[in-house]
Amino acid sequence: MTANTPEAWDERAAEPFSWNAALWSERGQTQRFLAVLRHLDLRAGDALLDFGCGTGRFCEFLPDDVTYYACDSSPGMRERVRREHPRAWVLEELSDDEFDHIVCIGTFNLEDSWSKFETWETLDDLWSINSPRSLIVSFYRGEDEDCLSYDTEEVVEFAEELTSSFIIDATFLANDLLLVMNK
């Protein structure tokens, strides 16, 4: 079984490649990042929060004029972000600061420490409290028993409760879908 605990993520933080630490392939991680980027309306001076940032590799895909904030429950991952990405502002815990954009790339996929109820509650808080222009979440929709699997209908139902301005993108990987919410 794939552990989804801060301790397990601390151990995986030592993996040589960021995609291995996230339990993904390099291709899969890159495709997820590029899919998210296609939906971000980034402007100079924007602040982006990567919630569940893992190793922080996503910041390598962002323009230098976007401020990158990284938040992860694993101390090992936060330390790796500090070490490998000096431009990142690493948050020990989520704050109620306002961000222009929040991304959650695979954050809610492994089931050991998330339930779907906690997923929806956390996303509701990120949307309501932090008031971003956009919230983009990648969800798993496959058959792996160690993962939470989300179907399009439940993601749409959640989004409709918060905004009328959202899209679902299921074009980038067979087992993933993106929820893109905009204000």
Condensed to tens digits (0 to 9), the pLDDT of residues 104-150 reads: 999 998 776 678 999 999 999 999 999 999 999 999 999 988 789 99
Phi, psi angle pair for 180, to nearest 5°: -120, 110
Average pLDDT of the residues of the chain: 92
Work out the percent of the chain whose per-residue pLDDT is above 70.
Answer: 95
Domain count for the chain: 1
Provide the 10 A C-beta neighbour count for residue 68. 23
Condensed to tens digits (0 to 9), the pLDDT of residues 24-62 reads: 889 999 999 999 999 999 999 999 999 999 999 999 999
In a domain, 90, yes or no: yes
Using pLDDT thresholds of 50, 70 and 90, give the confidence band for residue 2.
low
In a domain, 79, yes or no: yes
- Order the strands of the 101-105 sheet from edge to edge: 89-91, 67-71, 47-51, 101-105, 134-140, 176-182, 166-169
Report which DSSP code applies to 110. Answer: B
In a domain, 1, yes or no: no
| Angstrom distance (rounded) from CA 105 to CA 140 | 10
With beta carbons less than 8 A apart as the criterion, state whether 166 and 159 touch. Answer: yes
Check whether 64 has a pLDDT greater than 90: yes
In 3D, which of 45, 48, 163 has the Cα closest to residue 98? 48
In a domain, 14, yes or no: yes
The range of the structural domain enclosing residue 21 comes to: 6-182
| Angstrom distance (rounded) from CA 120 to CA 20 | 27
Work out the percent of the chain whose per-residue pLDDT is above 90.
Answer: 77
